[in-house]
Amino acid sequence: MSDEVLQAIKSILPEERILENEDMDAHTTFRVGGPARFMLIVETGEELSSIVKYLNTIRREFFLLGNGSNLLVSDKGYDGIVLRLSGEFANHEVSGERINSGAAAQLSVVARAAADNSLTGMEFAAGIPGSVGGAMVMNAGAFGGDMSMIVESVQIMDENGEILTLENDTMEFGYRRSVIKGSKYIVTNVTFKLSQGDRDEILAAMNEIAEKRRQKQPLEYASAGSTFKRPEGYYAGKLIMDAGLRGFSIGGARVSDKHCGFVINQGYASAADIYDVICQVQERVKDRFGVDLEREVILLGDF
C-alpha cells in the first residue's frame, strides 16, 4: 500500500484500528493462516461508506471478514486489505416479533436473544458459529432451518457506499447461497421476523440441537464446520466415509472420525495441510463415485 493510500485511510479511521501484518489465525475458526497486510476495523456506517467508496475509486480490492468460521487463509497470509466490521455493526435490538441486527453480531447470540424474548424460529441457528452478515451471504442453516425462513429484509451497502434494502424475495436464497454471494454488496444490517412462542419450549429445542451437535460433530477441534456442500442426491460425509477416508490425515489436518464431512485441525495443522486434505478428499471421492464435492470453505491467499 502506498503512503498516499495509507494516509487517505488514516483520514477515515484512527490509527489504532489500522492493523499491519495482522495474523489471521486469531480470526478464523480453523486457527491457521499467515498475516493480512492490513486489517481495517470499521465501527460505523459512515466509516464503512467512506472506506468502500475510496477503495473502489482507486480500484483496490479488499476482503470482508465475518467471523472467519467458513474461511481458510493461506500460510503465506493475504497481501491485501481485510475489512472487519465492529462497533455499531455488532449490536442487535429486539422489537416485538422482530430483531434488528448488525452484520457483525454473532448469529448464536442473536438466536439466544430471540429465546430470551420468547421468540421462536431461530432455534436451529443457536449453534452456528458465524456472524449475521456471513449467514446472509451463504444462507446459513442447520437441522432443517435456514436464513430464508426467518429473514424479513437485509440492508446492504453497494460499491458506491450507498445503502440499499433487499426484501426476502429479492435475496435469491438457495442452498448455501444468496444474491450477496459473489457480489460486491456488503451486508450491514438484517431484520429477522419471528413468532411468539414459549420460552421454555424454545430453550429446550435449542438444548436438544446443541446436544445433537455435541454427539455428531467434532466440536472439540478447530474446524470450519461442514467442509463441503451437500451434493444433490448424496451426503458428503457418507461419500467420504464410503471412500475409506475416515481419519485420513496429512500433517495436523484430519478427516474427522466423528463426522467425515468435517476436516479438523488437530492442533498443529498448517493451512497447507488442511488444503491438501480437502483436495485429496475431492479427488478420491470423484475417482470412486464420480461425484464432485464442492468446497463450502472459502480460500483467501495463495495455495
Judge whether 136 and 128 are in contact, CB under 8 Å.
Answer: no
Annotated active-site residue 296? The verdict is yes
Q: Residues 297, 72: contact at Cβ < 8 Å?
A: yes
Phi and psi based region of residue 55 (left: phi greater than 0; alpha: psi -120 to 50; beta: remaining): alpha
Q: Which of 176, 223, 256, 270 is catalytic?
A: 176
Q: What grid cell was written down for 61?
A: 480490492
- Among candidate residues 88, 97, 152, 296, the one labeled active-site is 296
Rounded-to-integer distance, Cα 187 and Cα 154, Å: 7
Q: How many CB atoms lie within 10 A of CB 127?
A: 21
- CA distance to 50, 96, 105, 171, per residue, from 67 (Å): 23, 27, 9, 21
Q: 218: phi > 0 → left, psi -120 to 50 → alpha, else beta; which? A: beta
- 28 φ/ψ angles, rounded to the nearest 5 degrees: -130, 150
Query: What is the spatial distance between Cα 281 and Cα 261, in angstroms, rounded to a whole number?
Result: 10
User: Measuring CA to CA, which residue among 234, 233, 245 is closest to residue 279?
Assistant: 245
226 as an active site residue: the answer is yes
Confirm whether 176 is a catalytic residue.
yes
Dihedral of CA 158/162/163/164: which sign? negative
Cell, residue 264: 479438523
Interacting residues of 10 by C-beta distance below 8 A, sequence separation 6+: 18
Q: Which of 226, 254, 256, 295 is catalytic?
A: 226
Going from the C-alpha of 206 to that of each of 4, 125, 196, the distances in angstroms are 51, 9, 16
**Active-site residues: which are they?**
176, 226, 296
